[in-house]
Structure 1
Amino acid sequence: MDIGIDSFAAILPDPTTGKPPSPVDRMAALLEEVETADRVGLDVFGIGEHHRAEFLDSAPAIILAAAAARTSRIRLTSAVTVLSAADPVRVFQEFATLDLISRGRAEIVVGRGSFVEAFPLFGLDTGAYDELFVEKLDLLLELRQSTDITWEGRFRPALSGQGVFPRPLQPRLPIRIGVGGTPQSFARAGQLGLPLMIAIIGGSFERFRPLVDLYRETGLQAGHNPDSLSVGVHAMGFVGETDKEARDAFYPGWAHLTGSIGRERGWTPPTRQQFDDMAGPDGAFLIGDPTTVATKMRHASDTLGGISRMTFQMSTASLETAAMKRSIELLGNEVAPIVREGIPHDALMQKT
């Protein structure tokens, strides 16, 4: 299992001072986090894409390029690229360039996005939310296959054999589909035979098993090799010295961000009990000491029939740099070895 981190470069208030960091300081801290992840042997670091005041990740390829220059082995990916609101030609060029800078470590996770701010920002109709994604994904996959293509769609000017450069170092730039909870998205990924990245930001892992089964069944029916139908999970996660320390560190930032977004969407205000339930044995938050987190990761993989990648959304913790780096160190030095050694889930449970 690949193990890594996803960040939205959130600017949240410090839980002790109540003051947010400056954008310059937050970006510097983020790059330190990527360096730390690379140093402790994590496999992948992803940067999201949002177009909101509380995030700094509107141009993820630029952040990843800066990270590429300061790391040597960790894979660098979007998490996710809002492809519906982007030009696939430009996305391909940016990540091909990142692939050259990083010497073959670039990946793309594409999705429709859970926020809609990018659509009016770039003059797009949210009513064509799904149609935009389908067409642009088709073009992106064509660009991956060939330098010179002829292509025509509804939402972008046609291509009539123009060359798209540069080409990446990797012969086939890795592309995953990022999904939430709609069966249509899982089935589409299976039909195309593309690896899946599931955002599980609440509830339980169990409720996603029927959707994962749908993905795999659709992929097999479409004639794809089972080995290509890999499943990754993006989940809220944080590692501390103890379960209580990890929960207390993560909760303030999570409550602030969830409450802010919830007010826009009409959600019930989040509570500590709700948070503790999701961080408990039956919830989907990977928050706790190294053994607790490793146990839940193994459980998640068993529940979903095998996971090839798991990434932690840690930036919601809203912590100062040293604490974030310590959590990354615990993930790389203590959690990852337990998971990679393949210790049976029952044996891990006996340690807790």
Structure 2
Amino acid sequence: MQFGVFTVADQTPDVHTGKTPDDVERMRSLVTIAQHVEAAGLDVFAIGEHHETGFVTSSPTTVLGYIAGRTSRLRLSTSIAHITTNDPVKLAEDYATLQLLSDDRVDVMFGRGNSMAGYSAFGKDPRASVQLTVENYQLLRRLWDEDGPVDWQGQFRNPLHQFTATPRPVDGVAPFVWHGSIRTPEVAEIAAYFGDGYFANNIFWPKEHYIRLIDLYRERWEHHGHGPGSTAVVGLGGHVFMRKNSQDAVREFRPYFDVAPVYGGGPSLEEFARQTPLTVGTPEQVVEKTLTFQEFFGDYQRQLFLVDHAGLPLKTVLEQIDMLGEHVVPALRKEMEARRPAGVPSDPPSHASRVAARARQSQPA
């Protein structure tokens, strides 16, 4: 099973100092965090795409390409890239380029995006976000998967005539795709139809909300002939803050929670932790709560943790990663694999397995 860290790359003032990291400081911190994730023995580092002030990752392929050159083993991903406002031709070429530069250590998570700023900046109508998602992803798959030039006529972009996206994906097989969603059943359907992974953000809502979406994805995975629903490729998010003593964790994290862009001004820390997967406490408490995800959602293949949100100092973030690597992830690996039934994959599909599957599909009947 894959474990890692994802970030929204926010530039939130430190609640104690009032200092907001500038672009250079925040970008450098992301590189340091990624390197620390690898050094701690985790598997994945993922960054989100944003196009408004207060965030630094408007160009995720650039950031991930740089991090690829500073790491050797770490799997790199988005969390998410916008399938709605980015042009499918540019997505096809940028992520194939990143796949080549990273020695195939990249996958990509696509999503609609939850900020109106991105839609406005790129001249897209947020009311058409689902239709944009469907059309853009269909074109992207053709640009990646078809060996010859592509002809295309759609609703939201100019037609293509005999166009080939370059460079081509490694071995003719594109990066593995996850579809990230917090509320849209159509996204679960797209992921199931194409046999892609489905990633439930899992930091905002009670578990019942995500159970419905994941169950739908598993049902549609089986319907589309990819195998039993238990074999569908699922990823989950989570948000943690840890100290050796749970009272210390709550006391230290509360001021940051209260001003966090995605939390501040809402329920109290205690109420939010009761209603959602947020875990503030000891590493043992994080292990205990994360194991309930397997009970609620079924066996899954990727777990990513948010650890750097809301203006936390870099030193504190690196301490969180150390605790994940030393205490949390080893315990989760052992226990989750012991619980996993035979025949249920422990990891997402590898590049080699997908190359082999493509070769089998191309053989004459």
**TM-score (norm: length of structure 2):** 0.86
Matched, 1:316 2:309: yes
Q: Using the alignment, how far apart are the partners of 1:71 and 1:184 within structure 2?
A: 35
Q: Using the alignment, how far apart are the partners of 1:93 and 1:250 within structure 2?
A: 41
| 1:162 paired residue number | 163
Q: Using the alignment, how far apart are the partners of 1:246 and 1:143 within structure 2?
A: 48
Which amino acid letter does the alignment assign opposite residue 314 of structure 1? V
Partner secondary structure for residue 166 of structure 2: coil
* Equivalences, count: 335
**TM-score (norm: length of structure 1):** 0.89
Which amino acid letter does the alignment assign opposite residue 237 of structure 2? H
| 1:342 paired residue number | 335
Can you list the C-alpha shifts for 1:66-109, whole angstroms capped at 9, x where unaligned?
Answer: 11111111110111011100011111211111112211111110
Can you list the C-alpha shifts for 1:251-279, whole angstroms capped at 9, x where unaligned?
Answer: 333322337x87xxxxxx324xx322333
Q: Using the alignment, how far apart are the partners of 1:182 and 1:98 within structure 2?
A: 28
Q: Cα offset for 1:228? A: 6.0
Partner secondary structure for residue 332 of structure 2: helix
Q: 1:275 aligns with which of 269, 274, 290?
A: 269
Question: What does 1:1-352 align with in structure 2 at a 5 Å threshold?
Answer: 1-147=1-147, 148-169=149-170, 171-226=173-228, 229-258=232-261, 269-271=265-267, 274-280=268-274, 283-342=276-335
Structure 2 unmatched runs, 5+: 340-365
Q: Cα offset for 1:211? A: 2.2
Whether the 8 Å contact between 1:13 and 1:253 is mirrored in structure 2 is: no
Q: Using the alignment, how far apart are the partners of 1:238 and 1:291 within structure 2?
A: 12
Q: Using the alignment, how far apart are the partners of 2:209 and 2:84 within structure 1?
A: 27
Partner secondary structure for residue 311 of structure 1: strand
Stretches (4+) displaced over 4 A? none
Cα distance 1:270–1:127, how it changes in 2: closer, same or farther (>3 A)?
Answer: closer
Q: Cα offset for 1:240? A: 2.9
Can you list the C-alpha shifts for 1:25-79, whole angstroms capped at 9, x where unaligned?
Answer: 1111111000000111111111101112111111111111111111111110111
Q: Using the alignment, how far apart are the partners of 2:83 and 2:17 within structure 1?
A: 37
Q: Using the alignment, how far apart are the partners of 2:140 and 2:222 within structure 1?
A: 23
Partner secondary structure for residue 113 of structure 2: coil
Q: Using the alignment, how far apart are the partners of 1:112 and 1:37 within structure 2?
A: 27
Q: Using the alignment, how far apart are the partners of 1:341 and 1:208 within structure 2?
A: 25
Q: Using the alignment, how far apart are the partners of 1:316 and 1:144 within structure 2?
A: 34
Partner secondary structure for residue 170 of structure 2: coil
Aligned-residue Cα RMSD (Å) equals 2.1
Q: Cα offset for 1:117? A: 1.0
Partner secondary structure for residue 130 of structure 2: helix
Q: Using the alignment, how far apart are the partners of 2:112 and 2:276 within structure 1?
A: 25
| 2:344 paired residue number | none
Which amino acid letter does the alignment assign opposite residue 200 of structure 1? N
Identity rate, percent: 31
